[in-house]
Amino acid sequence: MDIQRYLREKKEIVDAALEGYCPDPGGTGFEMDYPPSLHRAIRHSLVDGGKRIRPILSMAAFEAVGGKGDGILPFACGLEMIHTYSLIHDDLPAIDNDDYRRGRPSCHKVFGEAMGILAGDGLLTEAFRVMTTPTSVDPAIVLEIVHEIARASGISGMVGGQVADIESEGKEVDLPTVQYIHTHKTGALILASVRTGVKLGGGNEETLRALTHYGQRIGLAFQIVDDILNVEGKTELLGKRTGSDLFKGKATYPSLLGIDSSRRMAGELMESAIDVLHPFGAGVEPLKEIAKFIILRES
Amino acid sequence: MDIQRYLREKKEIVDAALEGYCPDPGGTGFEMDYPPSLHRAIRHSLVDGGKRIRPILSMAAFEAVGGKGDGILPFACGLEMIHTYSLIHDDLPAIDNDDYRRGRPSCHKVFGEAMGILAGDGLLTEAFRVMTTPTSVDPAIVLEIVHEIARASGISGMVGGQVADIESEGKEVDLPTVQYIHTHKTGALILASVRTGVKLGGGNEETLRALTHYGQRIGLAFQIVDDILNVEGKTELLGKRTGSDLFKGKATYPSLLGIDSSRRMAGELMESAIDVLHPFGAGVEPLKEIAKFIILRES
């Protein structure tokens, strides 16, 4: 299969759906549904940008287990909104202080810090509004998925990992701590994306177990590759500055194990992720290719 | 009825439930469920503090329509978590830059700006995790309530109002704009609190309509009284600095209409809120008393 084409086609679907969830508020005064400036700030960060890995993973998992139709789209978009809010807040001066993101100035550089905070808050809340919009899907399943996504995004997931990440800056940390940071900061939401697709697509317990293994492995691999690219990648491809982890004394796999061991580890995680998919036939082909893409990407 | 005692008893129930949702993460390293520092920052802002008006309104509305048991508690706590996250973020230097809140230093003053942002993010996400925890309540109703709370908290609600509030600072604004700010920044979540109680308690359409009218009136009255207290209140009672709205050139009812007209308006809103409850018998007595309390409070 042509993974580049697959990713492009799925990204187009996600981008179009996100556009639909980001309507012009209309008006300029009190008759507006929400302030036009907030609309611009959210669009700046949400629309077009990014590889859409999380939504695409949820769609690929959904289809791998036989899911049909576009019932996955509100969750795919919710996952991307949560990811995007986390980037907006991470880039703030008080946290990572990054001026560039996805090849353009970060949200607060264009709209100011207050708007950066509030656009992030708005996006996070929108994610939950979008995911709980009534559809024909069994409300019990929706609730279970939203609950898992909230857990993966919050204090016991992404936010917890981000706090641990900041607290490790400039310190000597051990491998379990780096692993804690990465599995929570990045891995949790990637795993939740895969599991969302499986649950919504009607996958059974055995499939859920296998794809959970897959999601855990690629979640960690994704962050290791991110860290390697932060050392070796090209700024113009990444759309953000390289070398910043080293400068900030971030706890990363390359800083702890070196580049070669990190690359080897990412490769092993990818193989382990793919291995577990072998019993599942042709439907999981995109998931295998996404795992390879995550390792081999240059941005 | 003794409203002070009622509020105290309900606050105790809410405080105990919030304690339960704020467990010690355990450990100090990678075995922890989430970082102890994040736990301390969230506890600092969430535990004990505040009047718990939103959760108490949801409980009072729940009981007014005949709701039984403690099924309301996850939503009561979720509403308070959302309110508390919004205070933490509002107090940040980039937004309102307030050093005091609920009688103690604001979250970022104690734990730093990065933690203030992340503790707020964590609390907002926890709210949705808590509210979507499986219970015996019909998942379709839970989903409907969570969706409404997300809408009331996000870009078309609280966050939208907050953006409009910031953008109006130092500008001459008209009454419709002030009304937009207040109905969104404060009113939307108060209204959602009341409607959550009605929906979960099984209130019919007529009751929902009446209590929606009630919630809209007290939501706006609450903010008008807040603005009056910011001018006339006592810092030691409020637990935050007075006079800050004037200093920042905030768009408020007192700044636009003067204190006397604002007080009259709040009184009229309270009466309108109480009037609509008359057909509903003794069960709505606490709601009536809460409306009066909102107007007469000194903090």
Contact state of A163 with B33 under an 8 Å Cβ cutoff: no
Question: Using the 8-state DSSP alphabet, how is residue B186 labeled?
Answer: I
Are A270 and A218 in contact by the 8 Å Cβ rule? The answer is: yes
Rounded distance, CA B293 to CA B5, Å? 12
Q: Pick from A192, A125, A122, A180: which is nearest to A152 by CA? A: A192
Cα–Cα distance for residue pair B39/A155, rounded to 1 Å: 9
**Element containing residue B117 per DSSP (H, E):** helix B113-131
Supply angle C-alpha B268, B272, B277, rounded to 5: 150
Under an 8 A CB cutoff, do A125 and B153 touch?
yes
Distance from CA of A280 to the nearest CA of B (A): 31
Binning pLDDT at 50, 70 and 90, where does residue B25 land? confident
> What's the rounded Cα separation, in Å, for the pair B167 and A59?
39
Cβ of residue B155 closer than 8 Å to a chain A Cβ: yes
Q: How confident is the model at residue B29 (pLDDT cuts 50, 70, 90)?
A: low
Among B287, B274, B38, smallest CA distance to A166 is for: B38
pLDDT > 70: percent of chain A: 96
Question: Any CB–CB contact under 8 A between A282 and chain B?
Answer: no
Q: Which of B75, B121, B148, B196 to mutate to test the interface with A (most CBs of A within 10 A)?
A: B121
What distance lies between CA B267 and its chain's CA centroid?
20
3-state helix, strand, coil split of chain B in percent (to 5) is 70, 0, 25
H or E segment to which residue B9 belongs:
helix B3-20
Higher pLDDT, A47 or A205: A205
Chain A, 85-104: which have a CB under 8 Å from a chain B CB? Answer: 85-86, 89, 92, 94-95
Across the interface, whether the CB atoms of B128 and A120 are under 8 A apart is answered: no
Residues A218, A224, A227: CA angle, nearest 5 degrees: 145
- Give the H or E element holding residue B168: helix B158-168
Tell which wins on pLDDT, B85 or A238. Answer: B85
pLDDT given at position A245? 80
Contact (CB, 8 A) for B112 and A121: no
Fold for domain B3-296?
A: Farnesyl Diphosphate Synthase (1.10.600)
Closest C-alpha among A25, A17, A36, A27 to residue A115: A36
Q: What percent of chain B has pLDDT over 70?
A: 96
d(CA B97, CA B154): 21
pLDDT class of A276 with cuts at 50, 70, 90: very high
Taking the Cβ of residue B115 and every Cβ of chain A, the question of whether any pair is shorter than 8 Å is answered with: yes
Residues 6 or more apart whose Cβ sits within 8 Å of residue A194: A57, A58, A61, A211, A212, A214, A215, A218, A287
Q: Maximum CA pair distance of chain A? A: 58
Could you read off the pLDDT of A21-51 as tens digits, one per residue?
987 887 766 667 889 999 999 999 998 778 9
Residue A298 reports pLDDT greater than 90: no
**Residue B260 contacts A where some CB pair is shorter than 8 Å:** no
Average pLDDT score over residue span A93-119: 94
Q: Which structure tokens are listed for A160?
A: 């917890």
Per CB-CB distance under 8 Å, the chain A contacts of B126 are 150, 154-155
Q: Please, are residues B21 and B130 in contact by the beta-carbon 8 Å criterion? A: yes
Selected residues 178-237 of chain B with any CB under 8 Å from a CB in chain A: 179-180
CA distance linking residue B165 with residue B180, whole number of Å = 9
Domain ranges of chain B: 3-296
* Rounded-to-integer distance, Cα A253 and Cα A175, Å: 8
Inform me whether the C-beta atom of residue B36 falls under 8 Å from chain A C-beta atoms: no
Given pLDDT bands bounded at 50, 70 and 90, which one contains residue A115?
Answer: very high
Q: Which of B117, B149, B129 is nearest to B42 (CA)?
A: B117
Chain center to CA of A297: 15
> What type of residue sits at position A40?
R
Q: Is the pLDDT of residue A247 over 90?
A: no
Residue type, A41: A
pLDDT of residue B242: 72
pLDDT digits (tens, 9 = 90+) for B257-273: 999 999 999 999 999 99
Q: Which residues contact B270 (CB under 8 A, 6 or more apart)?
A: B217, B218, B221, B291, B292, B294, B295
String of b and e for A63-84 (b: at least 16 CB within 10 Å)?
bbbebeeebbbbbbbbbbbbbb
Is residue B57 over pLDDT 80? yes
A60 vs B60: CA distance, rounded Å: 45
CA distance B271 to chain A (A): 25
Give the pLDDT band (50/70/90) at residue A273.
very high
Q: How far apart are CA B231 and CA B234, in angstroms?
A: 9
Q: Give the integer Cα–Cα distance in Å for A101 and B174.
A: 38
B133 vs A32, A133, A147: nearest CB: A147
Name which of B89, B132, B179 is nearest A150 (Cβ-Cβ).
B132
The predicted structure's pLDDT at residue A272: 97
pLDDT at B146: 98
Contact A189, A158 (CB under 8 A): yes
Exposed, middle or buried: residue B259 (CB in 10 Å: 0-12, 13-18, 19+)? middle
Q: Which of B33, B132, B180 is the closest to A147 by Cβ?
A: B132
Give this prediction's pTM: 0.96
Q: Hey, what amino acid is at B173?
A: V
Q: Closest CB to B129: pick one of A30, A33, A147.
A: A147
**Is a pLDDT exceeding 80 seen at residue A131?**
yes
Query: What's the pLDDT score for residue B30?
Result: 64
SS3 B105: strand
Which residue type sits at B267?
A: G
Nearest CA in chain A to B137: A140
How many contacts, defined by CB atoms under 8 Å, are there between A and B?
176
pLDDT grade, residue B237 (50/70/90)?
A: low
What gap in Å lies between CA B203 and CA B63, rounded to an integer?
10
Among A38, A166, A177, beta carbon nearest to B155: A38
What is the pLDDT, as a whole number, of residue B248?
78
Looking at residues B87-94, what average pLDDT do you find?
96
A178: nearest Cα among A96, A265, A243:
A265
pLDDT value for B297 = 85
To the nearest whole Å, the CA of B86 is away from the closest chain A CA by 9
Report chain A's mean pLDDT, rounded to a whole number.
92
Work out the burial of residue A26: count CB atoms within 10 Å of its CB; fewer than 13 is exposed, 13-18 middle, 19 or more buried.
exposed
**In angstroms, rounded to a whole number, what is the distance separating the alpha carbons of residues A29 and A40?**
15
Report yes or no: A283 and A66 within 8 Å, Cβ to Cβ: yes
* CA distance, residue A181 to nearest chain B CA (Å): 8
The whole-number average pLDDT for the span A115-127 is 98
Q: A100 - beta bridge partners?
A: A105
Is the ipTM beyond the 0.90 threshold?
yes
Span A47-101, pLDDT tens digits: 877 899 999 999 999 999 999 999 999 999 999 999 999 999 999 999 999 998 8
Q: Are the C-beta atoms of A119 and B162 separated by less than 8 Å?
A: no
Longest dimension (CA), chain B: 58
Give percent above pLDDT 90 in chain A.
78
Distances (CA, A) of A173 to A221, B42, B125: 19, 25, 28
User: Which chain A positions have a beta carbon within 8 Å of B140's beta carbon?
Assistant: 134, 139
